[in-house]
Amino acid sequence: MDLDKLIAVQNKLARGVILEDRFGEIEKIAGCDAAYDGDRAFSAAVVLDYAALEVIEESVAESRVTFPYIPTFLAFRETKPLMKAIEKLKNKFDVLLLDGQGIAHPRGLGIASHLGVALNVPTIGVAKRILCGEVRGKIQPNKPAQIFYNGRHVGYALQTKKNTSPLYISPGTGVSLDSSLKIVVHCIKKHKLPEPLRLAHNLALLKRKRERVKYASAM
């Protein structure tokens, strides 16, 4: 595996990242995530009404993956499975949330940026761990702290609920830094994760569980 070639791909795609809002009034927001069982990926996409945060549509897909998990190269493993679920959606959405980094990435191209540039849709990365840079300021419930990498503001650390670890939010593409934070905050309800991602995550896990049961019953 030639990682230098993959880095070149990332650097090229990163030049297509746009850090300004490329959407009007948000009516529909989507989330997409995947669960794994060996070399099988179970991806799920969910579209919600932005104002009410109620589900409009769901889709699931199954894929075979051959690319291993390598930090900073997640998009090469997950992009195709995620796109498979997204392409099954009938409803168009204004912004897409993804489990992973946006521009808070060593080459400015986490999976949210990679997928956003590939699909030409506004995206936001919401990660559970910081990948690069440093958080400036104290992380407190509902008080975002800025993330800087090489002197550049690339995102926010946000503790959405008391006694939980923070989320690391960064724009993917087609979304400004300020809007990425505002949109994620709007999507938080009773749980730590924003609703589009939480529901997509749960749906992917459910799809994996059902396929495991189906496989076991066929044995």
Q: What pLDDT is attached to residue 131?
A: 96
pLDDT score, position 68:
93
- Give the per-residue SS3 of 85-149: HHCCCCCCCCEEEEECCCCCCCCCCCHHHHHHHHHCCCEEEEECCCCCCEEECCCEECECEEEEE
Distance from the Cα of residue 96 to its chain's centroid: 7
Helix, strand, coil tally for the chain in percent (to 5): 30, 30, 40
Helix (H, G, I), strand (E, B) or coil at 51: coil
For residue 44, give the nearest of 211, 156, 175 by alpha carbon.
211
Q: What is the pLDDT along the chain (219 residues), one digit of tens a residue?
A: 799 999 999 999 999 999 999 999 999 999 999 999 999 999 999 999 999 999 999 999 999 999 999 999 999 999 999 999 999 999 999 999 999 999 999 999 999 999 999 999 999 999 999 999 999 999 989 899 999 999 999 999 999 999 999 999 999 999 999 999 999 999 999 999 999 999 999 999 999 999 888 766 666
* Rounded CA separation 209/214 (Å): 9
Distances (CA, A) of 123 to 136, 139, 169, 183, 191: 24, 24, 11, 11, 21
Neighbours of 95 (CB within 10 A): 27
Domain boundaries, the chain: 3-218
Q: Hey, which residues does 114 pair with through a beta bridge?
A: none
In angstroms, the CA 83 to CA 111 distance is 12
pLDDT in tens, 130-157: 999 999 999 989 899 999 999 999 999 9
Distance CA 203, CA 32 (A): 10
* CB-CB neighbours of 217 under 10 Å: 7
Topology adopted by domain 3-218: archaeoglobus fulgidus dsm 4304 fold (3.30.2170)
Confidence (pLDDT) at 219: 61
pLDDT attached to residue 213: 80
